[in-house]
Structure 1
Amino acid sequence: MAGIKALVSLSFSGAIGLTFLLLSCALEQYGVYWPMFVLIFYILSPIPTFIARRLSDDTESGCNACKELAYFFTTGIVVSAFGLPIVLARNYTIQWGACGLVMTGNAVIFLTILGFFFIFGRGDDFSWEQW
């Protein structure tokens, strides 16, 4: 039952993050949909970690080069997701208020993705692999 509660809470926090992203696009004073391009980063961010967990062996407890490379790529994707709204705002493509809403949405979404890996990536009897 604890897994279902975690899944519901992660879904709720993901919906809150996407609400901030949609508000940055759809409010009348902002009115442009360029910030929606950060959805690409939301999709791309967990992919290196999924690939690294699939390819790496869990026999050694030391640092694994495959996992470290996946963390590097994931960090680059997350930094790019935070950088895109700043670049758009500095070029006057979006307003700074929309940039703030996108940054808030980014923080919530990426914390949700991190929470997913903490909750469902432990490898015990209830993991994301059974979904």
Structure 2
Amino acid sequence: MAATSTHLEVPTDGLDRSACLGPDGSSELVSGVIGMIDGRWKLAILFRLFERPSWRTLELKRDLAGISQKVLTQQLRELEADRLIDRFDLGDKLPHVEYRLSRAGAELLPVLRSMRIFAALHQGNSIA
């Protein structure tokens, strides 16, 4: 009987498993993406940017009830460092900064929509 695998990238013939487990494997790459969106407010920020093309910092602060300015700034900087959003300084005399989804951030939308569908289908169910 042939060995089976529930992971499409894991060879079942005992050969090279780096496609899944190595430093450039599926597990490491997916963990990296999860790290990019991990944080109490990052998904909320991203979903707002999916909804509307650009937001000013103060608009985000008003819309995200309970977030402090310090945490908002930190989360925005991390999302920018991970290249999921772009920061545009449009300041004339007064500071005017807007945030928009980057190309990579826009490419993440279908993944997050799929995760939302999965969550809705399995809400309250144990996924073992």
Pair in the same fold by TM > 0.5: no
Larger Rg: 2
Structure with greater strand share of residues:
2
Structure with greater helix share of residues:
1
Q: What TM-score does the superposition give when structure 2 sets the normalisation length?
A: 0.32
Q: What TM-score does the superposition give when structure 1 sets the normalisation length?
A: 0.31
